[in-house]
């Protein structure tokens, strides 16, 4: 994109009092895409240009005008490039209308394929399924290519992921997945070994087979923690929360004969997993607040006999979602390292 246009996009956004993140949310793109537009590293597609013009209340001409001179060519000395003939029987009858601009960040894939299944939607979406693989490109330029040479995903915002024999690459940077798996295994294997030895030890030495099997549930419990540390992804804690709640439930029932109330701990699974998602995605609405209310109400009733007026707590549910709508979080999915 021309640097003059990029600077204009910055000025219009600041006049509207919007941050890059707020603008991205309004037009449905990533903040990284907005940043690349404003640094002249990428260009918005036609749909996004129209949305920007409407948002800033300007015309497309005003948004895109530059001082660059339009180059002139001598028609007499310039040979016209003839488009490749459309293969007979192809479903892509409007091949020439699918321009390079509409396939931003997409490879020059030859869509004129006779073999296989070809679909060309009216809005510009294309699909080809054949012996060379599966190829999909939408009208905004996002593409997915799956073949024997690997998998490639290119977003119209400029983000791309490639998985092939050389490894996993995100925006051209190789991801050291194997090292993370090795780190995870180095932590998990000793813990799993200790849990298994404890299971056998309690069973043989204390004849505690009726409860020693609980040690085996500690393996997936700690596995979730080690995954979260190795891959720096909070979502792996779901496994820890699930098995941790089950362990507490069974322990309270087996050792305290508390089956009549220990089942309440199972409600902690949706409460804690949704809390992790709400923090990662910065969205209050993702938290299972109604389940928390039910948990508190049942605990008050069972342990404090406050069934009445404890039911009043249910009125907090609509209040919570009213507050959640006032403070809508961003679309960024952040983990321990702050990356999305």
Which of 68-82, 233-247, 256-270, 274-288 bottoms out in mean pLDDT, i.e. has the lowest? 68-82
- The residue ranges of every structural domain in the chain are 3-64, 95-175, 177-326
- Residue of 180, 164, 158, 288 whose CA lies nearest to 226: 180
**Cα→Cα distances 245→213, 217, 268, 269, 288, Å:** 16, 11, 7, 6, 16
Q: What is the pLDDT of residue 157?
A: 59
Q: Tens digit of pLDDT for each residue in 152-168? A: 888 765 677 888 777 77
Q: What is the mean pLDDT of residues 46-62?
A: 85
Long-range CB pairs of 128-137, under 8 A, 24+ apart, other chains included: 135/109, 135/111, 137/103, 137/106, 137/109
pTM: 0.48
**Cα→Cα distances 298→264, 293, 321, Å:** 8, 9, 21
Residue 73 reports pLDDT greater than 70: no
Q: What is the mean pLDDT of residues 33-42?
A: 83
Structure token pair of residue 73: 């060519």
What counts of helices (H) and strands (E) characterise the chain? 14, 8
Alpha-carbon distance 267 to 287, whole Å?
13
Residue 58 reports pLDDT greater than 90: no
Place of tokens 């941790």: 244
Structure token pair of residue 78: 């310039």
**Cα→Cα distances 116→89, 98, 127, 145, Å:** 12, 20, 10, 15
Q: What is the pLDDT of residue 248?
A: 95
Residue 328 reports pLDDT greater than 50: yes
Alpha-carbon distance 94 to 228, whole Å?
48
Q: How confident is the model at residue 111 (pLDDT cuts 50, 70, 90)?
A: low
Q: What is the pLDDT of residue 332?
A: 45
- Residue of 179, 117, 141, 170 whose CA lies nearest to 42: 141
Q: Tens digit of pLDDT for each residue in 165-223? A: 777 777 776 766 666 677 777 888 899 999 999 999 999 988 889 899 999 999 999 99
Alpha-carbon distance 320 to 274, whole Å?
15
Three-state secondary structure call for residue 323: helix
Alpha-carbon distance 170 to 163, whole Å?
9
Where is pLDDT greater, at 77 or 17?
17
Q: What is the mean pLDDT of residues 240-254?
A: 94
Q: How far, rounded to the nearest angstrom, does the alpha carbon of residue 133 sit from its chain's CA centroid?
A: 25
Q: How confident is the model at residue 146 (pLDDT cuts 50, 70, 90)?
A: confident
Please state, rounded to an integer, the average pLDDT across all residues of the chain.
79
Alpha-carbon distance 113 to 145, whole Å?
15
Where is pLDDT greater, at 232 or 181?
232
Angle at 310 between CA 304 and CA 311, to 5 degrees: 140
Residue 279 reports pLDDT greater than 60: yes
Alpha-carbon distance 28 to 256, whole Å?
53
Q: What is the mean pLDDT of residues 252-280?
A: 93
**Topology at the third CATH level for domain 3-64:** 434 Repressor (Amino-terminal Domain) (1.10.260)
- Residue of 70, 69, 107, 109 whose CA lies nearest to 92: 109
Q: What is the mean pLDDT of residues 267-289?
A: 92
Residue 79 reports pLDDT greater than 50: no
């Amino acid at each position: 994109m021309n640097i003059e246009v990029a600077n204009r996009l910055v000025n219009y956004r600041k006049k509207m009092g919007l941050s890059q993140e707020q603008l991205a949310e309004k037009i449905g793109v990533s903040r990284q895409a907005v940043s690349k537009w404003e640094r002249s590293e990428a260009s918005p597609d036609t749909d996004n240009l129209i949305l920007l013009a409407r948002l800033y209340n300007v015309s497309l001409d005003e948004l895109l005008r530059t001082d660059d001179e339009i180059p002139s060519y001598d028609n007499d000395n310039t040979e016209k490039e003839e488009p490749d003939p459309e293969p007979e029987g192809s479903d892509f009858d409007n091949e020439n209308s699918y321009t390079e601009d509409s396939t931003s960040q997409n490879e020059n894939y030859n869509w004129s394929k006779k073999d296989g299944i070809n679909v060309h939607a009216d809005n510009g979406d294309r699909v080809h399924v054949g012996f060379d693989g599966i190829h999909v490109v939408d009208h905004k330029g996002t593409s997915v290519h799956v073949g024997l040479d690997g998998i490639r995903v290119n977003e119209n915002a400029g983000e791309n992921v490639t998985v092939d024999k050389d490894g996993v690459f995100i925006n051209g940077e190789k991801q050291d997945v194997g090292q993370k798996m090795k780190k995870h295994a180095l932590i998990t294997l000793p813990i799993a070994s200790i849990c298994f030895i404890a299971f056998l030890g309690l069973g043989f030495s204390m004849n505690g087979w009726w409860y020693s099997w609980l040690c085996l549930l500690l393996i997936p419990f700690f596995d979730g923690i080690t995954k979260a540390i190795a891959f720096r992804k909070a979502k792996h804690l779901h496994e820890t929360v699930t098995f941790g709640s089950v362990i507490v439930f069974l322990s309270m029932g087996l050792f305290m004969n508390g089956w009549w109330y220990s089942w309440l701990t199972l409600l902690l699974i949706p409460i804690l997993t949704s809390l992790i998602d709400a923090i990662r995605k910065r969205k209050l609405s993702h938290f299972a607040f109604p389940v928390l209310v039910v948990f508190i109400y049942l605990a008050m009733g069972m342990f404090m006999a406050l069934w009445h007026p404890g039911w009043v707590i249910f009125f907090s549910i609509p209040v919570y979602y009213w507050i959640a709508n006032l403070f809508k979080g961003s679309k960024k999915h952040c983990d321990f390292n702050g990356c999305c």
